[in-house]
Amino acid sequence: MQLTSIASGSSGNCICVGTEHTHVLIDAGVSGKRIESGLQELDLTTGDIEGILITHEHSDHIAGLGVMARRHGLPIYATHKTIQAIRKMRALGEIDPVLFCAIEPEVDFMIGDMLIHPIRVSHDAADPVAYLVRQGEKTAGVITDLGVYDESLVAQLQDADVLLLEANHDIKMLEVGPYPYPLKQRILGEKGHLSNSACGQLLSQILHDSFRTVMLGHLSKENNYPELAFQTVSVEVDMGDCPYHAKDFPIHVAPRDRLSETIRF
């Protein structure tokens, strides 16, 4: 399997996950041109993409969806409520209803040789999910846009080999930054985003002997830095109640405006 971030950040998200035979995009939150360019850098074309998995309807996750759907006729997988919300967004333009494939949180489905498991998450959207993608014994997860995590999420992530995990903001930067107070409260709330510290605390609960690597994603441009996210997550893992240390596995940070390195496992 392989995982590459085409874009990851508060301004746009698109992740490519694939096997030797099947590839999907998780979200299409940047322009169609940028997605196509990213695929070309991966030696892929849109003809290699079997579908787009949508986490939720916020613009940084669907901005390029209309173009990708009309231009390439790609199936769109999302929960029923998310589909309803997307179809109300005039800015996306017309999308053929036939392309929408309704899924249910916590109910597995297959795309090619990949088993997809949507995980319900806590975020201020219609019916948001994160995704685990499995092929055989290998599992990759894209877990972003959640304000809190619970025992159920921890249990579902404990066998993952590779994760792209949200490290959205530094709490102190957010608190003293320029955002209006209601927006700060939204981000810090239970339906907001994971901070660097919360990301590290979650990671420390799901590490295991076979864990390969984590990519920190969905960083805020205004309230975070890649180096700060890396350092904070590393410290939380080192201080966590687990037998592992941050140096035991690679920690990557997904770039905002270019491809990440490809994680193969």
Contact 55, 27 (CB under 8 A): yes
What are the pLDDT digits (tens) for 201-221?
A: 999 999 999 999 999 999 999
Number of domains in the chain: 2
SS3 string, 150-200, reads CHHHHHHHCCCCEEEEECCECHHHHHHCCCCHHHHHHHHCCCCCCEHHHHH
What pLDDT, in 10s, does the model give residues 108-137?
999 999 999 999 999 999 999 999 999 999
Q: Report yes or no on 264 lying in a domain.
A: no
Per DSSP bridges, beta strands 23-26 and 49-53 are parallel
Last residue of a domain, one of 72, 105, 138: 105
Distance, CA of 227 to CA of 38 (rounded, Å): 24
Instruction: Tell me if 191 is assigned to some domain.
Output: yes
- Report the alpha-carbon distance of residue 221 to residue 108 in Å, rounded: 34
Domain boundary among 105, 127, 156: 105
Share of the chain above pLDDT 90, in %: 100
User: What was the pLDDT predicted at 106?
Assistant: 98
CA 38 – CA 14 distance, rounded (Å): 10
Strands 109-111 and 213-217: unpaired
Helices and strands in the chain: count of H runs, count of E runs: 9, 14
Domain boundary among 78, 105, 132: 105
Q: Which domain CATH number covers 56?
A: 3.60.15.10
Domain assignment of residue 123, yes or no: no
- Quote the CA–CA distance of 255 and 117 in Å, as a whole number: 26
Residue 116 covered by a domain? no
Average pLDDT over residues 245-256: 97
Cα gap 4→7, rounded to integer Å: 9
Question: Do residue 58 and residue 8 come from a single domain?
Answer: yes
Please give the residue range of the domain that contains residue 169.
146-255
Angle of CA points 91, 99, 108, to nearest 5°? 115
| pLDDT averaged over every residue in the chain | 97
Residue 169's pLDDT is what?
A: 98
| 125 is a domain residue | no
Residues 85 and 167 reside in one and the same domain: no
The pTM is what?
A: 0.97
Vertex 31: Cα angle to 213 and 66 (nearest 5):
110
Give 71-117 pLDDT, tens digit per residue: 999 999 999 999 999 999 999 999 999 999 999 999 999 999 999 99
pLDDT of residue 215: 98
Structure tokens at 148: 């809190």
80 and 153: one domain?
no
- pLDDT tens sequence across 230-250: 999 999 999 999 999 999 999
What pLDDT shows up at residue 100?
98
Q: Please tell me whether residues 93 and 6 are part of one structural domain.
A: yes
Mean pLDDT of 147-163: 97
Domain presence at residue 134: no
pLDDT in the model for residue 122: 98
Q: What is the DSSP string of 118-144?
A: EEE---SSSS-EEEEEEETTEEEEEE-
